[in-house]
Amino acid sequence: MLDFLKGPVFAIQEFFLLGAKAVKNIFRRPFYWSDLFVQMDIIGVGSLPIVLLTGFFSGAVMALQMARALSNYGAKEQTGVVVAITLVREMGPALTSLMVAGRNASGMASELGSMKVTEQIDAMRALGTDPVQKLVVPRMLATAITLPLLTIIADFVGIFGGYLVAAGILGLTGTQYWTSAWRAIEYSDILQGLLKPFVFAFAISLVGCYYGLNASGGTQGVGRATTQAVVMASVLIFILTFFITKLFVGEVY
Amino acid sequence: MSSDAPILEFQQVTVDFGDSLGLDNVSFQVREGDARIILGAAGSGKSVLLKTALGLLRPTSGRVRVFGEDVTDLNESAWFPVRRKLGVLFQEGGLFDSLTIAENVAYPLENNRKDPLPSTDVFQRVKEALEFVELGHTLDKVPSELSGGMRRRVGIARAMVTKPRLTLYDSPTAGLDPMTSYTIVALITKERCVHNTTTMIATHRYQDGHFLANYTYNGQTQSIEPRRHHGEDGDASTRFWVMREGRLVFDGTQSELGRVDDPYVAKFMKPRMDCNGN
Ligand SMILES: Nc1ncnc2c1ncn2[C@@H]1O[C@H](COP(=O)(O)OP(=O)(O)OP(=O)(O)O)[C@@H](O)[C@H]1O
Ligand SMILES: [Mg+2]
């Protein structure tokens, strides 16, 4: 009767086994440094333009929206506060991670998936290389290192985008905006804002690698793996962000 | 180890994929110098058999012995030294498309961290292997720049560069035209005769087996020539297997294969009547 659950349960178990193996392998030799740097370049530097764009415009849009709502209470000067807090706590991590999920979870799934269906993964194992060590560990670490950094950049350009709107359109002064924004952010906000991308990084990279390594059925299978990886990574980001937020909000109240 | 001990042995090996059986109670022994032609329809389990011999798939039950060592319960890292003694050509090629041809062929040598070769020796071996498959001029190309048949030959070079005692070829001629197929089988025959490699070939094509059983490489004239027959079986060390739905349904010499009535088995004897060209 519960047969239909067998597939998903098995997949979740396999996913966690892959995660455990990848984490354990971080401390194993050989460590593929050059693969790590290549992946950091692809994920970090490669995502920079899109992260700058989305970060900037989300800050700008937020300033527009918030200023309108706040002016109802005569609190337009508080725009900087709201933009900064929302970006650092929530929007920066979530948007950046979603962008990286779209770019890199799919990239990993399709790259590893093609390697799987052309038997390069089998060849690797046959020729004495552990695919988890060579492929998964560098991708996981590269994402875990670069995603928090990308988030910081997105937060900053977002707040800057908000400032341009506040100063250019809403007529606030720079001091009003920046000092209120700066004062509003607490250490727990920064902690929360960096913990999220760090956790999401593991979800994104492991999901991408998992779907890639389990691709089957030729080119079509690679396409399927890629789509599933992006969807699954994005959904996981939303679920995880809820729980991490809950953790921090629960602490405050 | 005495030379009689089987180089590869399966004892009642079953590989269960849950929804289907990849191998169904397969038993056999392969000895040093033997050749095995594994015939069978698509999906009959040829690739699964070869991958099980390499430890890439795990038997659900039964025992596997490689070079006399029981490898059934080895974990992944314990498999590495065993696999190092085997050569393999994958059905889909398995060439690393981010590496050049020379790097691909060097991979099994350089990846051996236990006793690494000096890099000049590696280069020499790589060159030799590529010249053996007549691709000495492609060292710095990448796989996507080569034709399908050339990639297959690079795969053969990579399989033989470590001078393995047992080499597994998965569908080496699949998807190639008859001339290129001939080149590939001739190379495999040459490799078998020159290095006395134990050889297992999975294939759809009966002609591949026929060639391997009846032709030999003459080192003096450097050419392929018909084997001198010791009776109607030709070379008794070359045996044919037929697989069907994961089972080994025929095991015998070429002439025994010719006398079988079973329509599924006999099908592989009449290649020209198969409109798929298989
Ligand atoms: N990793 C796997 N997971 C699940 N099923 C598999 C797996 N590998 C193979 N199979 C199944 O096992 C059966 C045998 O497959 P195999 O690849 O050995 O066939 P084959 O004889 O090599 O066919 P072909 O001539 O097309 O290469 C097929 O039904 C296949 O779907
Ligand atoms: Mg096959």
A167-205 tens-digit pLDDT: 988 888 888 889 888 888 999 999 999 999 999 999 999
- Tokens 């086994």 found at: A17
Compute the average pLDDT of residues A87-105: 95
Could you list the residue range(s) of the whole structural domain that residue B81 is in? 6-85+164-266
pLDDT at A24 over 90: yes
Instruction: Kindly state the average pLDDT of the residues B179-193.
Output: 90
Two tokens at B10? 């399966």
Task: Give the pLDDT confidence score for residue A20 in this predicted structure.
Answer: 94
At B273, is the pLDDT very low, low, confident or very high (cuts 50, 70, 90)? very low
Backbone angles phi, psi at B80, to 5 degrees: -55, -50
Please compute Rg for chain B using Cα positions. 18
Give the distance (Å) from ligand 1 centre to CA of residue B17.
Answer: 10
Is residue B207 within 8 A of residue B270, CB to CB? The reply is no
Contact A155, A83 (CB under 8 A): no
Domain count, chain A: 1
B274 found inside a domain: no
Task: Report the range of poorest mean pLDDT among A53-67, B58-72, B192-206, B221-235.
Answer: B221-235
Contact between chains at B97 and A118 (C-beta distance less than 8 A): yes
Identify the band that residue B277 occupies on the pLDDT scale cut at 50, 70 and 90. Answer: very low
Give residue-wise pLDDT tens across range B200-228.
Answer: 999 988 989 989 988 888 888 888 888 87
**Residue-wise DSSP of B93-128:** B---TTS-HHHHHHHHHHT--SSPPPHHHHHHHHHH
* Total count of domains within chain B: 1
pLDDT at B24 over 80: yes
Predicted confidence band of residue A253 (pLDDT cuts 50, 70, 90): low
pLDDT for B7 equals 93
Q: Give me the mean pLDDT over the A30-54 stretch.
A: 95
Q: Is residue B135 part of a domain?
A: no
The pLDDT of residue B234: 55
What's the pLDDT at A251? 58
Cα–Cα distance, B240 to B34 (Å, whole number): 11
Atom of ligand 1 nearest to the CA of B48: 18
Q: Which atom of ligand 1 is the closest one to the Cα of B49?
A: 18
CB nearest to B92's CB, from A30, A117, A128:
A117
Residue B117 covered by a domain: no
The answer to whether B107 faces chain A, any CB pair under 8 Å, is yes
- Does the residue A147 lie in any domain? yes
B37-59 average pLDDT score: 95
Using DSSP's 3-state secondary structure scheme, residue B29 falls into strand
Is B93 inside any structural domain?
Answer: no
Separation CA B278–CA B276 (nearest Å): 5
**Looking at residue B130, what is its pLDDT?**
93
- Please work out whether the CB of residue B171 comes within 6 Å of at least one atom of ligand 1: yes
Are A240 and A199 spatial neighbours (Cβ–Cβ below 8 Å)? yes
Q: Please indicate, yes or no, if residue B230 is contained in any of the structural domains.
A: yes
> Over the stretch B77-131, which tens digit does the pLDDT of each residue have?
899 999 999 999 999 889 999 999 999 999 999 887 777 778 888 999 999 999 9
Residue B134 lies in a domain: no
A91 domain-assigned: yes
**Structure tokens belonging to residue A219:** 């080119």
Alpha carbon distance A122, A2 (integer Å): 33
This complex has an ipTM of: 0.90
Q: What percent of chain B has pLDDT above 70?
A: 92
CATH code of residue B10: 3.40.50.300
Q: What does pLDDT average to over chain B? A: 88
CA distance B108 to B80: 11
Q: Is A18 within the bounds of a domain? A: no
Nearest CA to ligand 1 atom 2: B17
Which one of B24, B38, B46 would you pick to mutate in the ligand 1 pocket, going by the greatest count of ligand atoms within 8 A of its CB?
B46
Question: Is the pLDDT confidence value at A163 over 70?
Answer: yes
Residue A23 covered by a domain: no
Give a yes or no: residue B40 inside a domain. Answer: yes
pTM for the whole structure: 0.90
What is the distance between the alpha carbons of residues A99 and A94, in angstroms, rounded to a whole number? 9
CA of B51 to the centre of ligand 1 (A): 10
Low-confidence winner among A109-113, A131-135, A169-173, B96-100 (lowest mean pLDDT) = A169-173
Q: Is residue A236 part of a domain?
A: yes
In whole angstroms, what is the distance from residue B64 CA to residue B53 CA?
7
Cα of B147 to ligand 1 centre, how many Å? Answer: 25
Mean pLDDT of A9-38: 92
Give Cβ neighbours of residue A69 (< 8 Å, ≥ 6 apart).
none
Q: Which two tokens stand for residue B7?
A: 């180089």
* Residue B155 buriedness (CB in 10 A; 0-12 / 13-18 / 19+): buried
Q: Give the closest ligand to the alpha carbon of residue B40.
A: 1
Q: Is the pLDDT of residue B2 over 50?
A: no
C-alpha span between A63 and A160 (Å, rounded): 10
Q: Which domain holds residue A170?
A: 33-246
- Interchain pair A126, B86: CB under 8 A: yes
Between these two residues, A71 and A61, which has the higher pLDDT value?
A: A61
Two tokens at B45?
A: 């389990």
Q: Of the ligands numbered here, which is closest to the C-alpha atom of B43?
A: 1
Instruction: Report the nearest-CA residue for atom 8 of ligand 1.
Output: B48
| Residue nearest ligand 1's atom 22 by CA | B47
Residue at B144 is within a domain: no
